[in-house]
């Protein structure tokens, strides 16, 4: 049952304040809401990236739950290693060995990996794919700000077409990134994971609810969460949630879930807004509003969004 | 009763793993270590172990999962070779830095390119600076014995380091030799239960492992890590002694073969030591005072002990089965020479590079090197102290 705000405000704080992420960063919003999805003990694994570096600058840590970081491209493997050890200890206990006293027998653990889009769509895809295929029990959350933000806004394969990044800069010849992003959520659906969802930070009930459902599954689950980045997307730090909402209102980032292969749209905007409205709100697309070639690219974006949205509606059996 | 039976090196390693019965194994196949993983998988499939076997999709993930599982709080093992070890390279440093006592059998094999599946030590030498303990075994028995000891060495509370159990690809991994397989019960007693230190799975004492560590603390942490290696040396000695008491085969940091009264000596790692013993014995019959220093522990490097063992020798040859490209000599030579220099010993020395990509090394070749040493001893040191042995020039 999705909790109300009052209940959520009373839930255990696992990522505390005092971390050093930018004001308005979408990542800690997503992390906190996801972690509100369970009351069970949680072990968190992070990939290298903004959240990892900003929450654990030695000798400080913002994590009130056990937390592990090994490297950039291995969150899938790392979370499966921790889970494997936990399961090994339980299995041995079931055979008569004593369970270590630091593992309470009556509280099943949950395992969550948080990784950026770089750590997920690109360099960490193999590790995630392997862990998903092995059917280990974990929730993997992609904190998707559509570029490598920790290293200074380089393009990733999650970067949308037209975005100005430091490795796909908008120049006099090239209009920012020239190709569409890959559809990672569908790639994870194709892994036939028991639960896959695409979420954002503007609808807490949706994100916490999806996390709850994911945590309830005994198997690998995946949430792709769009986390606006004021620095890289170039918007005011007070606009993070609004921009996130706009992404879903123009259907460039639909909110949906796939439970055992069955699609369900989790948010349908009353009125589908033009993509231009979303693009206009962010400095990363500013160059697309200067000339005819920019306008052409915006038309292409709209066409692509329309096409993907229609496909999704069909999959969700929506009219 | 311990049983003596013919076994290949890989089977012996898998057998030791069965007896150790680790909590987690995460592994990926590569020649010539594949059979370790295969044999162990069959133990899992047949319920002979309680291990949670994670069939990962790469060696990078294997070492990531092993490291994560170890810091979670339990005993973790794995095996690999060559490209597999190279792919793990990024994580190897992290395993050691997190003080995760993962035990990895490295079946030594040449590194690409060009691709070659046979023995040399390029893989192990490439990983020499990553913070792992490295033991090199000469034969099947040592591959088995070293693995049992590796658990105790790595898990010692003042050590807490990952350990590589290195054996030579094909030469040991695929050679049948008579192995003394100890009984399960004494092995289990010898390795003992796993003692967790700050396990990640301790939910009531949450800790953050692997934080961002900048100019203000990183150096102290690296310096602190250095303090683990002298105890590791002590642990190798203590565990080797206890192993001798328990099973009758004692081990140290090195083995000295006819070395004490030798005037000329060879230093070598791995199965080549066995070949060198044949050469030394036949030279002794000819009245040549030859001896061998077989190094077992390459990391931590027993510099002072090596210098002491070689003291007074007239000339030595250090055998390297790996090239450190662009360096003045082989990697083992460099470290032995540094050890001697630091100890104030000026022994004329040859750096011998041999056996790359599985090229055979014979007792005759080693005897040939010994026969060059008197000239080296009498000041006839060649301008280039690096000798390529057994290569077509
Ligand atoms: C193997 C490796 N390659 C590159 C890097 C450098 N690096 C660190 S974080 C990062 C980008 C992270 O981007 P993303 O995963 O999207 O997360 P974000 O910082 O945006 O949250 C890169 C390229 C690294 N640490 N390791």
CA distance B43 to B37: 10
Asked if residue A1 has pLDDT above 70, the reply is no
Place of tokens 């994911």: A214
B17-B18-B22 Cα angle (round to 5): 65
Exposure letters B173-196 (e unless 16+ CB within 10 A, then b) = bbbeeebbbbeeeebeebbeebeb
Asked if residue A319 has pLDDT above 90, the reply is no
CATH number of the domain within which B321 lies: 3.40.50.920
CA distance B94 to B88: 10
Count the neighbouring beta carbons within 10 Å of the beta carbon of residue A5.
10
Q: For residue A97, which residues of chain B lie inside 8 Å, CB to CB? A: 50
Q: Residue B385's pLDDT is what?
A: 82
Strand pairing of B386-389 and B349-354?
A: parallel
Q: Residue A29's pLDDT is what?
A: 98
The number of CA neighbours under 13 Å toward the Cβ of A73 is: 16
Contact flag B94-A82 (C-beta cutoff 8 Å): no
Average pLDDT, chain A: 97
Contact flag B24-A52 (C-beta cutoff 8 Å): no
Contact flag B68-A104 (C-beta cutoff 8 Å): no
- Cα torsion B186, B256, B333, B142 to 10°: value is -20
**Please, which residues bridge with residue B351 across strands?**
B318, B386
Same domain, B39 and B170: yes
Asked if residue A316 has pLDDT above 70, the reply is yes
Asked if residue A244 has pLDDT above 70, the reply is yes
CATH number of the domain within which A198 lies: 3.40.50.970
Parent domain of A210: 5-315
B298 Cα to the center of ligand 1, angstroms: 34
Is B374 touching A (CB cutoff 8 A)?
A: no
* CB burial of residue B120 (10 Å; 0-12, 13-18, 19+): buried
The percentage of residues in chain A with a pLDDT greater than 70, rounded to a whole number, is 99
Contact flag B196-A68 (C-beta cutoff 8 Å): no
The percentage of residues in chain A with a pLDDT greater than 90, rounded to a whole number, is 97
A72 Cα to the center of ligand 1, angstroms: 6
Q: Which of B206, B224, B247 is the last residue of a domain?
A: B247
CATH number of the domain within which B9 lies: 3.40.50.970
How many domains does chain A contain in total?
1
Q: Which of B223, B247, B271 is the last residue of a domain?
A: B247
Q: Residue B121's pLDDT is what?
A: 98
Q: Which residues in chain B show pLDDT less than 70?
A: none
pTM above 0.95, yes or no: yes
Segment A4-22 mean pLDDT: 93
Parent domain of B287: 254-389
Q: What ipTM did this prediction achieve?
A: 0.97
A149 in contact with ligand 1, CB cutoff 6 A: yes
Contact flag A58-B72 (C-beta cutoff 8 Å): no
Strand pairing of A138-144 and A220-226?
A: parallel
CA distance B151 to A66: 26
What is the best residue among A30, A71, A119, A122 to mutate for testing ligand 1's pocket, by most ligand atoms within 8 Å of CB?
Answer: A119
How many domains does chain B contain in total?
2
Same domain, B263 and B344: yes
What is the best residue among A73, A122, A151, A157 to mutate for testing ligand 1's pocket, by most ligand atoms within 8 Å of CB?
Answer: A151
Peptide bond connecting B114 to the previous residue in cis, omega within 30 degrees of 0: yes
Q: Residue A238's pLDDT is what?
A: 98
- φ, ψ at A140 (rounded to 5°): -110, 125
CA distance B303 to B345: 12
């Amino acid at each position: 049952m999705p909790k109300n705000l009052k209940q959520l405000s009373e839930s255990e704080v696992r990522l505390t304040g005092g971390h050093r992420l930018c004001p308005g960063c979408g990542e800690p919003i997503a992390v906190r809401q996801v972690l509100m999805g369970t009351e069970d003990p949680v072990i968190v694994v992070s990939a290298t990236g903004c959240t990892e570096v900003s929450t654990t600058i030695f000798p400080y840590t913002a994590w009130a739950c056990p937390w592990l970081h090994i490297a950039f491209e291995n969150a899938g493997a790392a979370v499966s290693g921790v889970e494997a050890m936990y399961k090994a200890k339980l299995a041995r206990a079931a055979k008569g060995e004593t369970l270590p006293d630091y593992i309470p027998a009556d509280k099943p653990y949950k395992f969550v990996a948080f990784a950026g889009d770089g750590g997920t769509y690109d360099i960490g895809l193999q590790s995630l794919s392997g862990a998903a295929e092995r059917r280990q029990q974990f929730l993997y959350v992609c904190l998707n700000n559509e570029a490598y933000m920790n290293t200074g806004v380089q393009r990733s394969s999650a970067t949308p077409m037209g975005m100005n990044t430091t490795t796909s800069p908008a120049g006099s010849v090239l209009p920012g990134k020239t190709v569409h992003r890959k559809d990672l959520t569908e790639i994870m659906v194709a892994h036939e994971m028991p639960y896959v969802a695409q979420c954002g930070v503007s609808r807490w009930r949706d994100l916490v609810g999806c996390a709850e459902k994911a945590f309830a599954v005994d198997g690998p689950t995946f949430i792709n969460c769009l986390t606006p980045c004021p620095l890289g997307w170039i918007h005011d730090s007070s606009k993070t949630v609004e921009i996130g909402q706009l992404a879903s209102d123009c259907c460039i980032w639909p909110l949906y879930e796939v439970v055992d292969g069955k699609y369900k749209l989790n948010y349908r905007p009353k009125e589908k807004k033009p993509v231009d409205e979303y693009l206009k709100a962010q400095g990363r697309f500013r160059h697309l509003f200067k000339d005819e070639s920019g306008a052409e690219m915006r038309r292409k974006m709209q066409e692509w969004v329309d096409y993907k949205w229609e496909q999704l509606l069909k999959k969700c059996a929506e009219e | 009763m311990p049983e003596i039976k013919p076994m290949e090196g890989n089977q012996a390693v898998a057998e030791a793993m069965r007896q150790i019965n680790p909590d987690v194994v995460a592994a990926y196949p590569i020649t010539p270590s594949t059979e370790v993983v295969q044999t162990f998988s069959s133990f899992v499939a047949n319920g002979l172990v309680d291990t949670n076997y994670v069939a990962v999709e790469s060696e990078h993930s294997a070492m990531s999962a092993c490291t994560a599982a170890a810091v979670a709080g339990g005993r973790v093992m794995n095996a690999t070779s060559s490209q597999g070890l190279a792919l793990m390279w990024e994580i190897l440093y992290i395993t050691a830095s997190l003080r995760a006592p993962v035990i990895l059998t490295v079946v030594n094999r040449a590194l690409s390119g060009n691709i070659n599946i046979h023995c040399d030590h390029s893989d192990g030498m490439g990983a020499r600076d990553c913070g792992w303990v490295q033991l090199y075994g000469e034969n099947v028995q040592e591959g088995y014995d070293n693995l049992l000891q590796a658990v105790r060495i790595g898990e010692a509370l003042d050590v807490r380091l990952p350990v590589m159990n290195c054996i030579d690809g094909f030469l040991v991994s695929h050679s049948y030799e008579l192995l003394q397989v100890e009984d399960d019960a004494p092995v289990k007693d010898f390795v003992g239960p796993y003692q967790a230190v700050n396990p990640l799975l301790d939910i009531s004492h949450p800790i953050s492992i692997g934080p961002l560590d900048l100019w203000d603390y990183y150096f102290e942490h690296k310096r602190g890590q250095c303090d683990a290696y002298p105890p590791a040396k002590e642990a190798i000695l203590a565990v080797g002694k206890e192993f001798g008491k328990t099973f009758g085969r004692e081990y140290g940091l090195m083995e000295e073969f006819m070395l004490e009264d030798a005037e000329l000596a060879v230093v070598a790692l791995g199965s080549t030591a066995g070949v060198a013993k044949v050469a030394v014995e036949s030279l002794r019959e000819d009245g040549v005072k030859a001896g061998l220093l077989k190094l077992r522990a390459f990391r931590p490097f027993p510099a002072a002990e090596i210098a002491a063992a070689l003291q007074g020798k007239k000339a030595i040859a250090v055998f390297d089965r790996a090239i450190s490209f662009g360096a003045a000599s082989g990697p083992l030579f460099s470290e032995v020479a540094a050890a001697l220099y630091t100890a104030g010993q000026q022994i004329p020395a040859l750096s011998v590079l041999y056996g790359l990509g599985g090229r055979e090394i014979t007792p005759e070749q080693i005897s040939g090197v010994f026969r060059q040493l008197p000239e080296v001893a009498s000041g006839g040191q060649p301008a280039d102290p690096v000798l390529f042995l057994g290569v077509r020039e």
